[in-house]
Copies of this chain bind each other. A is one copy, B any other.
Amino acid sequence: MTYSVGLLVRTGLVMISDSRTNAGVDNISTYRKMTVWENPGERVIVALSAGNLAVTQAALQLMNEGMPTGSGRISMKNVTSMSEAARLAGWALREVDHIDGPSLRNSGVGFSASLLLGGQIAGRQLRMFQVYAEGNFIQVMSETPYLQIGEFKYGKPIIDRVVRFDSSLATAAKCGLVSMDSTIKSNLSVAPPIHLLVYERDSLHVKVHAVMQDDDPYWQSLRRTWDAGLHDRFAQLPDPAWIT
């Protein structure tokens, strides 16, 4: 499994993913789930993927190589808007489904994949989409400024509590990491290294792309501080009346 989250706030975009892939508990490996197309000053597009690894790798390959058209290929390197990028991702997933879907369904595996796709192209809006296995997609809106894929439930309550469209990029990044920490604590199928990408709106270049191993000093400090803070605050909860 996977846990990935994208947070789109007024000042920019934060995208975070784990790196565990598993085919049963006796076959786990580390694969990056974040793909970045960056042409500084012109475009930053980031994809996070979840689901069947063969499916998402094939789709990302197609998104990179491009869709054939009468006048050449449309790829993530030359799409002219983020909604065109989302349509390209949808096309890629449908292509893979066309090729691999029948065999997967025949063996009862099913065709599972989802993508978060965020970014900005010069002169256009910063946007983020969730692209479904079926190739259709939704766009994030400011009322709920985040999207999650994979094992999303463990890490959802803290984001619901903390993040708003007006939150700072630092708050979005820290809350996304805390959400990842909660997920890792309770689900073995999600694990470091953690990819953290931070993009400032209209900057057209990646501000931060950190890859944090389990012993990363900031990641460790964040986890420790949060855990200690939770215990401290938990100890201050009011006692029920029946305590004697």
A5 at the interface (CB under 8 A from B): no
Please name all residues of chain B whose beta carbon is closer than 8 Å to the beta carbon of A208 when the two chains form the complex. 240, 242
Q: How far is the CA of A132 from the CA of B9 in the complex (A)?
A: 43
Whether B230 pairs with A233 at a CB distance below 8 angstroms is yes
A225 at the interface (CB under 8 A from B): yes
Q: How far is the CA of A82 from the CA of B170 in the complex (A)?
A: 51
Chain B residue, CB-CB nearest to A232: B233
Please name all residues of chain B whose beta carbon is closer than 8 Å to the beta carbon of A110 when the two chains form the complex. none
Whether A242 pairs with B207 at a CB distance below 8 angstroms is yes
Residue from the list B153, B178, B221 in contact with A186, Cβ < 8 A: B153
The digit string for A219-244, where 1 denotes a CB below 8 A from any CB of B, is: 00110011101111110111111110
Size band of the interface chain A makes with B:
35 or more
Residue from the list B160, B218, B229 in contact with A185, Cβ < 8 A: B160
Whether A170 pairs with B239 at a CB distance below 8 angstroms is yes
Q: Tell me the residues in window 176-227 of chain A with beta carbons closer than 8 Å to chain B beta carbons.
A: 178, 182-183, 185-187, 198, 207-208, 210, 218, 221-222, 225-227
Q: Tell me the residues in window 147-176 of chain A with beta carbons closer than 8 Å to chain B beta carbons.
A: 151, 153-158, 160-162, 170-171, 173-175
Please name all residues of chain B whose beta carbon is closer than 8 Å to the beta carbon of A222 when the two chains form the complex. 237-238
Q: How far is the CA of A174 from the CA of B157 in the complex (A)?
A: 17
Whether A226 pairs with B218 at a CB distance below 8 angstroms is no
Please name all residues of chain B whose beta carbon is closer than 8 Å to the beta carbon of A225 when the two chains form the complex. 236-238
Chain B residue, CB-CB nearest to A170: B243
Residue from the list B158, B218, B231 in contact with A241, Cβ < 8 A: B218
Pairs A-B, 3 closest by C-beta atoms: A229-B233, A153-B153, A157-B182
